[in-house]
Structure 1
């Protein structure tokens, strides 16, 4: 028994047995029929039965599934900054978070294509309550973050996650992906939660917890979708927030979001790797300020890197102009692009409700404001 059994992915030796448990699951069959539409199911099932490692499962089944998702629901994926990363090197990737499955899966696809160390990735346990999804996530090298805990249980769970991440990076040379905040950014304002950074330091020396960041290679990542496939699904929560009401998810909400994220329209997608921030971390660590203030400075640094690397699409500029009733960014989009975005807005949002319209537009407009902020801060 390992202390990490409640949260860890499968070990390599467990991979084949796990695959055999789900090989006849209708959800896996649907996924593989989508991935290999011209293939006889007996062929991919035979390949799966002879798969004995997580890497082979990811490369031979998850990767082609992602490529099919991109082909069917996007206008392509572009990347930048990967040339700054080295092979056989573990990185802690901290990214903005828009989509439940795609963010980390697309990053890993790029990492694989570029010959780098693929990640073990954080996923909320609320997203993998269905037995099939739980098995699939462990085969895809996800580790679980327990949600809904408080007090001592929350601390103990956070400490276990911190220890697991530390072990992955420093002992196993395994890269790690985590979002900059708990859960997805619903309103488009990508801000790093200091609590996430504090959690990462829990397993470090109590006299200098910030020292953890000097031992690893932290890489901020920006993920940009031209159209957020789950934009309309985020509206009820944003509406509740605008009324200062507690939002309660319906029973299958996470699963619906997961499917819409995979199959919904995205247009273009860009992933930007924003370099290893080792020198900046050393500078923060040397400051004679409290650990809390160091975490705040690191959170702000990650924000600026993510904002600066965010690829702004016509949808972002259009939304910003519509939100503020201006044409300040009209040179960044065409008449046809604006009409297409307005058609999406009209088709998805009850435009008689100004709060919904503002929330929808803000979701796309925020990255423009944050990009401008990043440029101003870079000048200082």
Structure 2
């Protein structure tokens, strides 16, 4: 028994048995029929039953599934920055977080396409309560972040996760993906929570905190969707927050969000992978500031990288102009693109509700606002 057993993904020795346990699940059939529409059921079942490693499962089944998702629900995926990475070095990818499943899936898709190491990825255990989802998660090298814990349990869970991330990076030589904050960004303001960084560094032992962060090669990742496929689903929580109300998730809300994220229209998608923050961390160390201040500096650097490298789409500029009743960025989009965006907004929310309109537009406009603020800062 390993102390990581209740959070780790499957070992390769467990993969085949896990697959055989879900191969007849109706939802698995739906996934396979979507991924391989021309293949007989007996054939994809035969291929699944012959699969004995996570890598084979990812390459032979998840990779084609992502390709089909991109074909059916996007107008293309682009990426940049991967030439700055070494295929032999494990990295800690810290990413903005917009979609439950796709963010990490698309990063791994582009990593694999470029001959780079795929990641082991953090996912909240509240998102994979259904047995099939939990099995698929563990078959795609996800490890569980435990949610809904008491303060004492949370501390122990954080220590364990920090140790596991360290084990992956240093002993398994495996890259890791983790979101910059707990939960997805709903309002378009991508910001790193210092608590995430504190958790990561808990396993550092006697090594200085910034030195540890340098040793694990932090790489900021920015992912942007021209259309957020879950934009309308995010609205109830944003509305509750605007009214200072407590938001309570509905049953099956996370599951519906996963489905909409996968199948909803995204138009264009871009993934930017920055270079490791080694030089930036050296500069932070040289400040000689207190550990807490240095941690704040690091979170600010990560934010600047993620916000600055976020690819802005016509939808972002349109929303910004509509929100501010201006033509400031009119050269960044066409009249047709503006009409299409307004039609999407009309279908998703009640245009008579000023607060709803403001929240919907801000979701898309805030990345523009934040990039403009960075330019002023520079």
TM-score (ref. length: structure 1):
0.98
Q: What is the alpha-carbon distance in structure 2 between the residues aligned to residue 374 and residue 87 of structure 1?
A: 31
1:70-85 matched pairs, under 5 angstroms? 70-85=70-85
Equivalent pairs counted in the alignment come to 378
Q: Which residue of 2 aligns with 1:266?
A: 266
What's the RMSD between the two structures over aligned residues? 1.0
1:151 Cα deviation from its structure 2 partner? 1.2
Post-superposition, which runs of at least 4 consecutive aligned residues in structure 1 deviate over 6 A? none
1:209-224 matched pairs, under 5 angstroms? 209-224=209-224
Q: Which residue of 1 aligns with 2:324?
A: 324
Q: What is the alpha-carbon distance in structure 1 between the residues aligned to residue 240 and residue 292 of structure 2?
A: 31
Does residue 181 (structure 1) correspond to residue 184 (structure 2)? The answer is: no
1:207 Cα deviation from its structure 2 partner? 6.6
Q: What is the alpha-carbon distance in structure 1 between the residues aligned to residue 28 and residue 63 of structure 2?
A: 14
Does residue 66 (structure 1) correspond to residue 55 (structure 2)? The answer is: no
Contact map agreement 2:210 2:281 (CA 8 A) in 1: no
Q: What is the alpha-carbon distance in structure 2 between the residues aligned to residue 80 and residue 285 of structure 1?
A: 29
1:274-313 matched pairs, under 5 angstroms? 274-313=274-313
Does residue 126 (structure 1) correspond to residue 123 (structure 2)? The answer is: no
Q: What is the alpha-carbon distance in structure 1 between the residues aligned to residue 205 and residue 287 of structure 2?
A: 18
1:206 Cα deviation from its structure 2 partner? 5.4
Q: What is the alpha-carbon distance in structure 1 between the residues aligned to residue 217 and residue 232 of structure 2?
A: 36
1:129 Cα deviation from its structure 2 partner? 0.3
Contact map agreement 1:89 1:116 (CA 8 A) in 2: no
Per mean C-alpha deviation after superposition, the further-off stretch among 65-74 and 145-154 is 145-154
Q: What is the alpha-carbon distance in structure 1 between the residues aligned to residue 4 and residue 286 of structure 2?
A: 33
1:129-168 matched pairs, under 5 angstroms? 129-168=129-168
1:372 Cα deviation from its structure 2 partner? 1.5
User: Per-residue displacement from partner, 1:97-136 (whole Å, max 9, x unpaired)?
Assistant: 0000000000000001111110000000110000110000
**Equivalent residue of 1:369, what SS?**
helix
Does residue 345 (structure 1) correspond to residue 345 (structure 2)? The answer is: yes
Q: What is the alpha-carbon distance in structure 2 between the residues aligned to residue 278 and residue 207 of structure 1?
A: 16
Q: What is the alpha-carbon distance in structure 2 between the residues aligned to residue 33 and residue 285 of structure 1?
A: 53
Unaligned 5+ segments in structure 2 are none
Q: Which residue of 1 aligns with 2:248?
A: 248
Q: Which residue of 2 aligns with 1:29?
A: 29
1:205 Cα deviation from its structure 2 partner? 2.1
User: Per-residue displacement from partner, 1:237-262 (whole Å, max 9, x unpaired)?
Assistant: 00110111110000100000000000
1:374 Cα deviation from its structure 2 partner? 2.6
**Equivalent residue of 2:75, what SS?**
strand
Q: What is the alpha-carbon distance in structure 2 between the residues aligned to residue 151 and residue 313 of structure 1?
A: 41
Contact map agreement 1:125 1:144 (CA 8 A) in 2: yes
Unaligned 5+ segments in structure 1 are none
1:210 Cα deviation from its structure 2 partner? 3.2
